[in-house]
Structure 1
Amino acid sequence: MKNGIINVYKEKGYTSHDVVAKLRGILKQKKIGHTGTLDPDAEGVLPVCLGKGTKLCSLLTDKRKTYEAVLHLGIETDTQDISGKILKECPVEVTPSEVEACMAGFLGEQQQIPPMYSALKVQGKKLYELAREGIEIERQPRPVTFYEIKILSMELPFVRFSVTCSKGTYIRTLCHDIGEKLGCMGCMESLLRTQVERFSIEDSLKLSQIEALVQEEKIDEKIVSVEEMFSSYPAYLAQPQFDKMLQNGNPVPCKQNTLQERVRMYTSSGIFIGIYEWNASKQQYKPLTIFCTPQDFQ
């Protein structure tokens, strides 16, 4: 079984679930999970967790992400992107400087209302399922943060821009909100995710490339190990008398002077256990996330 993270380039037309299903067939293993949904029409970076790496899914979902998008001014659709039903068309009479000023106003912390065509659940039902039934319900605004919004090119009514944002942000909704604020409406023409944490589009692999690497037995070179994901944390090699405690998932006492808040914990023989956090009141490292399995000790 493969363990770690693989940087997949999700192609247009695939859902994130499709990518996971196809990878299960290519890698011949069931334990696979993705790290945040990309719309079927969107493309780009989709880190996929394999084996022990599936414990990292929520961690990567929380990371900031970078996108390249094209805003199409003058059109409002029910899905907030160009694939939806057109609800309104307006003349685009704004100037480039007005567009720049408007988009700059979205920097920082914002309140964003999730679109009806989204996978968010309300009372056990996904919003897009309700939307397809013609039902629209009130959605509460959610806090999101735009760390950077940079215009790459502008040929009105089209504006191509890059945006780095927090988790749970809808770029479709950003496009809609910009158009609404400009008074001419707007929707998203296209979306490309270029970065999630350390995973960039330059290093991403299409499913066909992954399949070829599996056949060539070179796929391991492209999988980022769980240990590597936490390379910023120092390694801590436990003393031999604590090995059994680590195998059982217990905290480990420590009396060193130079302590780190979080460490990569290893047994005395170098078996990676997981990420441990310092508990000052008890003078011990306690497990935060354990990645080892009984098979690692055989």
Structure 2
Amino acid sequence: MAQTTPKIPRVPVHGVLLLDKPVGLSSNDALVRAKRLLNAQKAGHTGTLDPFATGLLPLCFGEATKFSQDLLESDKTYETVVHLGIRTATGDTEGEVLDTRPVDVSAEQIERVLARFRGDISQVPPMYSALKRDGKPLYEYARAGITLEREARKVTIHALDLLSYEAPTLRLRVSCSKGTYIRVLGEDIGAALGCGAHLNALRRTAVGTLTLDGAIGLPDLEAAPAAQREGLLAPVDALLSSFPQVVLGEELARRFLQGQRLALHDAGLALPASAGRVRVYADDGRRLLGTAQFAAYGVLAPERLIATAA
């Protein structure tokens, strides 16, 4: 009888891996590989990147998963190569070619068209997307040859810069709100130029305040000694750097971790200038306790607490 190799027990790992996702790998596949390499009990990603796309994919482990929604809601920045004159079924290099057209546009024409896509715009989500209809992702319908009506959504293009243009390709940098499909943006720009387009490459360079600075690839993670891999993670509060901080003393920290609302108006603490979400610390700012809502009259209402902080 063949012997089975015993499974290595998963361990608690807490932090954020700033992964530079390679081309050809889905976000979930990247997460599974990183979770295995770290032998982590709990992990999640913060919004998908298409398999053909590369770049920043923050992976959350342990207590950091409590705050992954914040990155899902964050603005994103991308650099992309748009291939004019060729439309594909998926809007990128993975789909079959639908038609080709000659490209006869100038950089000045492109700049005029780009101006129309800055600010608030409407996008129709692509059929080749993970959005669900009746419990099935749209891409399953698309692969079966079925096209469904999709309602246009409002997104915001904060910045859209032409980095270079050598016909038939143009390089763009895009800073946008959550839910923006860069594939659709490229297709719509091509349609506005009268020649059609698809994305030849896509790289995400920033998610909220997180950037590719310090990001590592899966080969680097795998090459690191197992005992040193957890040290490659950023701390949990790397996800929260955009929020003001409140630092509590020992007694207030204890009460906060018990879920109590705290009145801080006369506690002698440095408090935010306005109401809103805050990150809360103890031990002179060295120990993250969680997040809270800071309201009128100096009231601090616990929101998400760090279990390991107690």
Return 150-159 or 209-218, whichever deviates more.
209-218
Once residues 176 and 233 of structure 1 are traced to their aligned partners in structure 2, the CA distance between those partners, rounded to angstroms, is 39
CA distance in 2, matches of 1:75, 1:228: 41
Deviations 1:136-173 (A, max 9, x none): 00110111111111111111111111111111111110
SS in 2 for 1:203: coil
**What is the rounded CA distance, in whole Å, between the counterparts of 1:72 and 1:133 in structure 2?**
26
Percent identity, aligned pairs only, is 37
The structural deviation recorded for 1:92 is 1.2
Name the SS of the counterpart of 1:249 in structure 2: coil
Q: Which residue of 1 aligns with 2:149?
A: 138
Q: Deviations over 1:186-222 (max 9, x none)?
A: 11111111111232224211011112334362542x3
The unaligned stretches of length 5 or more in structure 1 are none
Match of 2:302 in 1: 287
RMSD: 2.1
Work out whether residues 26 and 211 of structure 1, in 8 Å CA contact, stay in contact via their aligned partners in 2.
Answer: yes
Q: Name the residue aligned to 1:250.
A: 260
Matched, 1:27 2:38: yes
C-alpha displacement of 1:239: 5.4
User: 1:176 corresponds to which residue?
Assistant: 187
Please, which runs of 5 or more residues in structure 2 have no aligned partner? 1-11
Match 1:197 to one of 180, 191, 208: 208
Task: Give the TM-score normalised by the residue count of structure 2.
Answer: 0.87
For residues 1-298 of structure 1, what are the structure 2 equivalents within 5 Å? 1-215=12-226, 217=228, 219-220=230-231, 222-231=232-241, 232-238=243-249, 240=251, 242-256=252-266, 259-260=271-272, 261=275, 262-266=277-281, 272-280=288-296, 284-290=299-305, 292-293=306-307, 296-297=309-310
Q: Distance in 1 between matches of 2:151 and 2:249?
A: 48
Partner of 1:277, secondary structure, is strand
In structure 1, what is the Cα distance between the partners aligned to 2:283 and 2:194?
Answer: 65
Q: Which amino acid aligns with 2:129?
A: S
SS at match of 1:161: strand
**1:109 Cα deviation after fit:** 0.6
Residue identity in the other structure for 2:185: L
Report if the CA contact (8 A) 1:254-1:285 is conserved. Answer: yes
SS at match of 2:37: helix
CA distance in 2: counterparts of 1:19 and 1:157, whole angstroms: 32
Structure 1, 261-270 or 27-36: larger mean CA deviation:
261-270
Q: How big is the shift at 1:23?
A: 1.1
Q: CA deviation at 1:35?
A: 0.7
Q: Distance in 2 between matches of 1:5 and 1:180?
A: 39
- Asked if 2 retains the 8 angstrom alpha-carbon contact of 1:109 and 1:143, the reply is yes
Looking at structure 2, the residues matched to 185 and 243 of structure 1 have their Cα atoms a distance apart, in angstroms, of: 58
CA distance in 1, matches of 2:149, 2:141: 12
In structure 2, the residue corresponding to 1:224 is in which secondary structure? coil
What letter matches 1:230 in structure 2? L
